[in-house]
């Protein structure tokens, strides 16, 4: 049957854009989820897809899905493969549909309303985030979406996983930026921009498919709100010696109606990491220590990582600040005024203005930290990020609970980013090392289990922007409660043969 299916695909797309070769099957066996890399390092066998294909238009995708449905072949949409939750893992083999050949901006139009600069762009879902943004920039626009993975994630992946960028407080998450999508359902039915879904007569594909991680269909195009590029920007650092004071300041800023483009608070340990590389003032401190230690630096690093309680205990005894990065973009006079108001709010919470240096440093290095993670894994450590969110009343409890639980297994750093009037997300980074790769993998699983349990107990949500994928699937019944039944019913109706990305999102 597989041969017949393969022949059918080749008929649709030609044989160059369909492959069963081993190298590609291995290349497409995982995304950037740390767990699957640790499993490979521990010698476990990966789940391989059987076939990979690269369609070039929506009609091809429609025919491929119709055919896969006929043969009951699992289908996994694949954007950049930068997901960190195992969303693209081919758990039951099947067909990977890589969308990166559908990578064009088709149209930029607007303004639509007199006096209100409402512009929009229509783009294919396989376009890389960085290509989309730089092409818009050349025309004087921005999407305003800057995830740390902008260099390796696609528009379709953003939409499927409800991505959030670094300027989310000003521009919103991707679901706030999208006006309409075109999608293909598992039956092969193409639903264009303003078309309704037959089985849910009042539902638009945007409302139904965004955030469903390829479990209900494939997003092929999107119409997005875009903005003229901001004429001015201001970034600065503000330090607080108490996290609760800093969180009160962030809440008050967001509830006052101010809309900073960036407002993210690094806890003291994360602040230390962020400061590595500062070139001025007393912030050269960590660099100097590194130089003094010379070749012993590596041994000390591994010693501390293997005994995480020790450095965390020592660090907790040193008085150290939490750094808030505060940024505004827009009209120069207006943002100066807004920044002043925000600083006033911070000052009421005993803050110290560190000036523009930390803000400029953050801006320059804002994508760097994430891309250092693979280096740490190659050095024999494990490293991962755990993003959760909660309303303001629960946020601090959630932070302390997760920290206190995890710090016996690994180093735990955190920053609070993506703030809203109602609450905020917390982004924990965990770094650890054990005596073997197998033990690393076990410890990593324990860390995730404990973090998710703690998050749910504290009344938080287990995902703000990395999606659910495979990683968080088993907590979906507790996360969604009765809501999961609706999701399951919808899945049954739209995908009765269960071909779309099986085993993900608790389905
Ligand atoms: C270094 C690094 C930094 C990161 N920083 C951020 C960040 O700042 N903010 C953030 O939100 N995320 C971040 N991520 C996570 C990741 O980049 C996002 O989840 C991103 O949205 C995934 O896009 P992708 O194209 O790589 O999707 P993939 O990994 O290819 O797929 C993700 C999921 O979406 C599905 N999918 C993909 N394309 C489609 C489509 N066209 N139609 C239907 N389903 C589809 C897949 O089946 C899968 O379930 C980061 C990841 C890394 C590795």
Q: What is the pLDDT of residues 125-163, one digit of tens each?
A: 999 999 999 999 999 999 999 999 999 999 999 999 999
Q: What per-residue confidence (pLDDT) applies to 293?
A: 61
What distance in Å separates the CA atoms of residue 393 and residue 423, rounded to the nearest whole number?
A: 8
Whole-angstrom distance between the N-terminal and C-terminal Cα of the chain?
A: 26
pTM comes to 0.94
Task: Using the mean position of ligand 1's atoms as its centre, give its distance from the Cα of residue 212 in Å.
Answer: 12
Report angle CA 81, 76, 108 to the nearest 5 degrees: 65
Query: Between 200 and 278, whose confidence is greater?
Result: 200
| Atom nearest to 371 CA in ligand 1 | 1
pLDDT tens for 64-73 read: 999 999 999 9
Which of 157, 218, 369, 501 to probe ligand 1 with, by most ligand atoms within 8 A of CB? 157
Q: What per-residue confidence (pLDDT) applies to 370?
A: 67
Residue of minimum CA distance from atom 9 in ligand 1: 147
Residue written as token pair 């950037």: 32
What distance in Å separates the CA atoms of residue 69 and residue 9, rounded to the nearest whole number?
A: 12
pLDDT score of 298 more than 80: no
Is the Cβ atom of 172 under 6 angstroms away from ligand 1? Answer: no
Query: How far, in Å, are 33, 125, 225 from residue 107 at the CA level?
Result: 34, 13, 12
Mean pLDDT of 410-417: 95
Is the Cβ atom of 132 under 6 angstroms away from ligand 1? Answer: no
Please report the DSSP string for 488-507 in residue order. Answer: HHHHHHH-TT--BSTT-TT-
pLDDT score of 277 more than 60: no
What distance in Å separates the CA atoms of residue 397 and residue 394, rounded to the nearest whole number?
A: 6
Phi, psi angle pair for 328, to nearest 5°: -130, 145
Mean pLDDT of 36-52: 94
Instruction: Look at the chain and count its residues.
Output: 507
Mean pLDDT of 261-276: 86
Positive or negative: CA dihedral 176, 178, 179, 181: negative
Q: How many CB atoms lie within 10 A of CB 25?
A: 19
Percent of the chain past pLDDT 90, that is, above it, reads 82
Q: What per-residue confidence (pLDDT) applies to 77?
A: 98
Which of 37, 156, 161, 163 to probe ligand 1 with, by most ligand atoms within 8 A of CB? 161
Q: Tokens in use for 449?
A: 């289990």
| Cβ burial, residue 182 (10 Å; 0-12/13-18/19+) | buried
pLDDT score of 223 more than 80: yes
Task: Using the mean position of ligand 1's atoms as its centre, give its distance from the Cα of residue 81 in Å.
Answer: 6
Nearest to 400 by CA among 273, 283, 244: 244
Is the Cβ atom of 466 under 6 angstroms away from ligand 1? Answer: yes
Q: What per-residue confidence (pLDDT) applies to 286?
A: 54
HSE-up (13 A, CA, CB side) for residue 491: 21
What distance in Å separates the CA atoms of residue 37 and residue 30, rounded to the nearest whole number?
A: 8
3-state class percentages of the chain: helix first, strand second, coil last, to nearest 5: 45, 20, 35
Phi, psi angle pair for 189, to nearest 5°: -65, 130
Q: Tokens in use for 20?
A: 């069963």
> What's the mean per-residue pLDDT of the chain?
92
Task: Using the mean position of ligand 1's atoms as its centre, give its distance from the Cα of residue 183 in Å.
Answer: 17
Mention every residue, 6+ apart, whose C-beta is less than 8 A from residue 195: 204, 205
pLDDT tens for 158-176 read: 999 999 999 999 999 999 9
pLDDT bucket at 113, cuts 50 / 70 / 90: low
| Atom nearest to 164 CA in ligand 1 | 11
- Contact by Cβ (8 Å): 257, 338: no
- Contact by Cβ (8 Å): 339, 373: no
Query: Between 273 and 330, whose confidence is greater?
Result: 330
pLDDT score of 313 more than 90: no
| Atom nearest to 155 CA in ligand 1 | 25
Mean pLDDT of 245-251: 98
pLDDT score of 284 more than 60: no
Lowest pLDDT segment from 135-144, 204-213, 228-237, 275-284: 275-284
Task: Using the mean position of ligand 1's atoms as its centre, give its distance from the Cα of residue 88 in Å.
Answer: 9
Q: What per-residue confidence (pLDDT) applies to 279?
A: 42
What distance in Å separates the CA atoms of residue 252 and residue 341, rounded to the nearest whole number?
A: 11
Q: What per-residue confidence (pLDDT) applies to 372?
A: 73
Is the Cβ atom of 241 under 6 angstroms away from ligand 1? Answer: no
pLDDT score of 306 more than 80: yes
Residue of minimum CA distance from atom 2 in ligand 1: 149
Helices (H), 148-307: 155-161, 168-171, 174-177, 205-209, 243-255, 268-275, 285-293, 296-306
Lowest pLDDT segment from 157-161, 277-281, 496-500: 277-281
Percent of the chain past pLDDT 70, that is, above it, reads 94
Q: What per-residue confidence (pLDDT) applies to 282?
A: 45
Is the Cβ atom of 149 under 6 angstroms away from ligand 1? Answer: yes
| Cβ burial, residue 17 (10 Å; 0-12/13-18/19+) | middle
pLDDT bucket at 311, cuts 50 / 70 / 90: confident
Q: What is the DSSP letter of 473?
A: G
Dihedral over alpha carbons 431, 437, 439, 440 (to 10 degrees) = 20
| Cβ burial, residue 99 (10 Å; 0-12/13-18/19+) | buried
Is the Cβ atom of 102 under 6 angstroms away from ligand 1? Answer: no
Is the Cβ atom of 154 under 6 angstroms away from ligand 1? Answer: yes
Q: What per-residue confidence (pLDDT) applies to 319?
A: 79
Is the Cβ atom of 429 under 6 angstroms away from ligand 1? Answer: no
Task: Using the mean position of ligand 1's atoms as its centre, give its distance from the Cα of residue 156 in Å.
Answer: 8
Task: Using the mean position of ligand 1's atoms as its centre, give its distance from the Cα of residue 157 in Å.
Answer: 4
- Contact by Cβ (8 Å): 141, 226: yes
Lowest pLDDT segment from 24-28, 111-115, 213-217, 345-349: 111-115
Mean pLDDT of 264-284: 69
Task: Using the mean position of ligand 1's atoms as its centre, give its distance from the Cα of residue 161 in Å.
Answer: 6
Please report the DSSP string for 304-318 in residue order. Answer: HHHSTHHHHHHHHHS
Residue of minimum CA distance from atom 1 in ligand 1: 370
| Cβ burial, residue 481 (10 Å; 0-12/13-18/19+) | exposed
Mean pLDDT of 82-94: 98
pLDDT tens for 48-58 read: 999 999 999 99
Lowest pLDDT segment from 32-46, 294-308, 462-476: 294-308
What distance in Å separates the CA atoms of residue 149 and residue 466, rounded to the nearest whole number?
A: 11
CA 238, distance to chain mean position in Å, is 26
Is the Cβ atom of 88 under 6 angstroms away from ligand 1? Answer: yes
């Amino acid at each position: 049957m597989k041969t017949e299916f393969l022949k059918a695909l080749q008929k649709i797309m030609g044989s160059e854009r369909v492959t069963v070769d081993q190298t590609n099957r291995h290349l497409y066996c995982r995304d950037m989820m740390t767990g699957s890399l640790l499993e490979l390092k521990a010698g476990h066998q990966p789940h391989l897809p059987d076939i990979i294909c690269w369609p070039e238009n929506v009609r091809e995708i429609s025919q491929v899905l119709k055919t896969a449905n006929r043969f009951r072949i699992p289908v996994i949409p694949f954007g950049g493969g930068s997901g960190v939750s195992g969303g693209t893992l081919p758990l039951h083999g099947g067909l990977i549909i890589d969308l990166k050949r559908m990578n064009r901006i088709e149209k930029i139009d607007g303004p639509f309303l007199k006096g209100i600069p409402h512009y929009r762009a229509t783009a294919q879902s396989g376009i890389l985030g960085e290509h989309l943004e730089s092409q818009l920039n050349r025309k004087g626009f921005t999407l305003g979406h800057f995830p740390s993975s902008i260099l390796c994630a696609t528009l379709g992946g953003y939409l499927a996983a409800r991505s959030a960028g670094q300027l989310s407080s000003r521009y919103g998450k991707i679901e706030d930026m999208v006006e309409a999508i075109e999608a293909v359902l598992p039956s092969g039915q193409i639903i264009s921009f303003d078309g309704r879904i037959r089985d849910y007569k009042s539902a638009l594909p945007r409302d139904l498919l965004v955030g469903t991680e390829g479990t209900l269909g494939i997003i092929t195009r999107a119409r997005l709100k875009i903005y003229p590029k901001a004429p001015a920007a201001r970034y600065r650092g503000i330090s607080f010696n108490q996290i609760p004071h800093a969180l009160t300041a962030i809440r008050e800023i967001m509830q006052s109606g101010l809309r900073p483009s960036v407002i993210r608070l690094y806890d003291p340990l994360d602040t230390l990491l962020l400061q590595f590389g500062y070139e001025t003032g007393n912030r050269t401190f960590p660099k100097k220590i590194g130089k003094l230690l010379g070749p012993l630096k590596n041994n000390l690093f591994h010693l501390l990582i293997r005994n995480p309680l020790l450095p965390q205990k020592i660090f907790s005894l040193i008085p150290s600040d939490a750094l808030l990065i505060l940024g505004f973009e827009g009209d120069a006079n207006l943002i100066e005024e807004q920044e002043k108001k925000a600083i006033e709010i911070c000052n009421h919470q005993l803050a110290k203005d560190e000036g523009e240096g930390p803000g400029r440093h953050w801006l320059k290095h804002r994508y760097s930290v994430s891309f250092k993670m693979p280096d740490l894994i190659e050095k024999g450590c494990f490293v991962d990020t755990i993003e959760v969110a909660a309303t303001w009343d629960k946020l601090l409890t959630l932070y302390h609970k997760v920290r206190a639980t995890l710090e016996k297994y690994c180093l735990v750093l955190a920053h609070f980013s993506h703030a809203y009037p109602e609450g905020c997300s917390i982004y924990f980074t965990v770094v650890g090392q054990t005596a073997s790769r197998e033990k690393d993998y076990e410890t990593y699983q324990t860390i995730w289990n404990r973090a998710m349990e703690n998050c749910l107990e504290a009344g938080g949500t287990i995902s703000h922007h990395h999606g659910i994928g495979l990683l968080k699937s088993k907590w979906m019944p507790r996360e969604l409660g009765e809501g999961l039944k609706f999701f399951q019913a919808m899945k049954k109706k739209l995908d009765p043969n269960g071909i779309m990305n099986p085993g993900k999102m608790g389905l």
